[in-house]
Amino acid sequence: MPSLLQPLPPNLSFAPPRTRVRPSPPAHNSTTISPRSTTTFAVKNTKTKNEDDYHSTLKALNSQGRFPRKSLGQHYMLSSSINEQLAGVADIKEGDVVLEIGPGTGSLTNVLVNAGATVLAIEKDPHMAALVRKRFPDTHRVKVLEEDFTKCHIHSHLVSLLRCKKSPDGESQYAKVVSNIPFNISTDVVKLLLPMGDIFSEVVLLLQEETATRMVELSLRTSEYRPVNIFINFYSDPEFKFKVPRSNFFPQPKVDAAVVKFRLKQAADYPSVSSIKSFFSMVNSAFTGKRKMLRRSLQHICTSLEIEAALENVGLPATSRPEELTLDDFVKLHTVITKI
């Protein structure tokens, strides 16, 4: 069986970085590292204290003799100040329980632990999981699970961790999620986490910028408007926090990133529908078939005449298409249709 991560070929090991200090402005510099003379990874506008992260990230990778794997979305964060901002967005403080998906070299984990959190870190890459375990030997502060997040039973892991942390007055505590996740599992992560308002109060994710914008902006009446927008707003209040230029990652991705904070709703605050499963089944059907009118795409639920009547009943034109309906409109339509 080939190793999950390919060892660095000898001619592709990371060379010691060359550092150029710009004379102006004095507080900022530009550091350039060349794994090969033909390839250049540059970190611009990072403050002097972030150089540590830059060097330690490469040192950690070198210590494993590993080259970042594209299939695992391994773009490591080089700026400790961005990691601190991520923790700040989630307001991490002493005693918090935090889930981190994909800790990588543990640079964000370190910031979370320094802020006082207990971290449950889930890492798919066995080499990186071993690295994080070695870096944080205190298993009371950092618990590392070597698993694929999209397949693990996160709910049971978190529930037992939170039970140990229950406050003396018996009040339940909520965990938080803070993660720089691989871009290719963003939608899966959001779909898994947002309905968990019973254990998480907020989910702070570093996402591809385009995905972040699409998840937060409603884009009603555009082809960008999808069932996932209905899903996100059903379970949370999303907020675009800040953009992260691609130059802050190693290796540098082809796109910029951005931080989104999802404040999770609790079940009592979800829009009132008779069945969440049947609601999302209707929403998904509504969006099948590009630019189809609802009176056609929902025909498997009831007749077109009944759908037209239901649309008019909730104050919408009989010719409505899914991209014209807000979450509230879908909720009202579902209520009327399920009574037919």
Ligand X SMILES: C[S@@+](CC[C@H](N)C(=O)[O-])C[C@H]1O[C@@H](n2cnc3c(N)ncnc32)[C@H](O)[C@@H]1O
Q: Is 29 one of the annotated binding-site residues?
A: no
Q: Alpha-carbon distance 202 to 327, whole Å?
A: 21
75 lies in the site for ligand X, by CB under 6 A: yes
Q: Is 75 one of the annotated binding-site residues?
A: yes
Asked whether the beta carbons of 152 and 145 are under 8 A apart, the reply is yes
Q: Alpha-carbon distance 338 to 319, whole Å?
A: 20
| Least distance CB 102 / ligand X (angstroms) | 2
104 lies in the site for ligand X, by CB under 6 A: yes
Q: Is 148 one of the annotated binding-site residues?
A: yes
Question: Going residue by residue from 165 to 204, which x/- string records binding to ligand X, judged by CB under 6 A?
Answer: ---------------x-x--x-------------------
Please identify, using beta-carbon distances, which residue of 205 and 283 lies nearer to ligand X: 205
Closest CA to 154 of 198, 187, 113: 198
76 lies in the site for ligand X, by CB under 6 A: yes
Question: Going residue by residue from 197 to 236, which x/- string records binding to ligand X, judged by CB under 6 A?
Answer: ----------------------------------------
107 lies in the site for ligand X, by CB under 6 A: yes
Q: Which stretch binds ligand X (CB under 6 A): 69-77, 135-143, 165-173, 261-269?
A: 69-77
3-class SS at 313?
Answer: helix
Closest CA to 93 of 118, 125, 121, 56: 118
108 lies in the site for ligand X, by CB under 6 A: yes
Residue 1: CB partners within 8 Å, gap ≥ 6?
none
Work out which of 51, 123, 308, 329 binds ligand X, going by CB under 6 A. Answer: 123
Indicate the DSSP class of residue 274.
S
Taking residue 53's Cβ as centre, other Cβ atoms within 10 Å add up to 25
Torsions phi, psi of 30, nearest 5? -125, 120
Closest CA to 51 of 81, 76, 75: 81
Taking residue 305's Cβ as centre, other Cβ atoms within 10 Å add up to 10
241 lies in the site for ligand X, by CB under 6 A: no
Residues lying near ligand X in the complex (CB under 6 A) are found at 72-77, 101-105, 107-108, 122-125, 128, 148-150, 180, 182, 185
> Which residues make up each annotated binding site for S-adenosyl-L-methionine?
75, 77, 102, 123, 148, 180
> Which residues make up each annotated binding site?
75, 77, 102, 123, 148, 180
